[in-house]
């Protein structure tokens, strides 16, 4: 009987720890997604909240093949200056979180263009921020 009670206690403890860990994981998932959703709005002022000020954007120009390394402030200035917002479909394809680091893949379809963004995020002072963005662009 003692053994059964001990097993029940162990099972209950394991379940409680698992539920606690799952709740923490769900909270982090929601927090990372909230940051990514700021980016996904396409609104420069909202997007700015998603990025760490020192973030960078790196890509290979689809026309010239030239590697580009752009400070995020320059990218955000261009987004804010663009007053016409194209119709687009955007979704988070995958999200991986491990401790204070996360990586997300985002697909964007706008007109005849397909883009794939890869975002690297860090939890800095309790807030998730995008610290780097790389992307690929191609025509449909």
Task: Give the count of domains, the chain.
Answer: 1
Range of the domain at 113: 2-139
* DSSP designation for 88: -
Cα separation, 122 vs 7, whole angstroms: 40
- The model's pTM is 0.80
Q: Could you report the per-residue pLDDT of 69-116, keeping only the tens digit for each?
A: 999 999 999 999 988 877 899 999 999 999 999 999 999 999 899 999
- Domain holding 53: CATH number? 3.10.450.50
Over the stretch 27-48, which tens digit does the pLDDT of each residue have? 999 999 999 999 999 999 999 9
């Amino acid at each position: 009987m003692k053994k059964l009670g001990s097993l029940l206690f162990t099972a209950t403890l394991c379940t409680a720890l698992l539920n606690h860990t799952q709740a923490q994981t769900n909270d982090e998932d929601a927090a990372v997604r909230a940051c990514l959703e700021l980016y996904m709005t396409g609104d420069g002022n909202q997007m700015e909240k998603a990025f760490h000020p020192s973030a960078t954007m790196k890509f290979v120009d689809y026309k010239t093949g030239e590697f580009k390394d752009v400070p995020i402030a320059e990218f955000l200035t261009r987004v804010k200056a663009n007053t016409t917002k194209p119709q687009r479909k955007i979704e988070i394809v995958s999200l991986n979180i491990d401790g204070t680091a996360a990586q997300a893949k985002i697909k964007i379809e706008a007109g005849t263009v397909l883009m794939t963004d890869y975002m690297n995020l860090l939890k800095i002072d309790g807030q998730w921020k995008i610290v780097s963005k790389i992307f690929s662009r191609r025509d449909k």
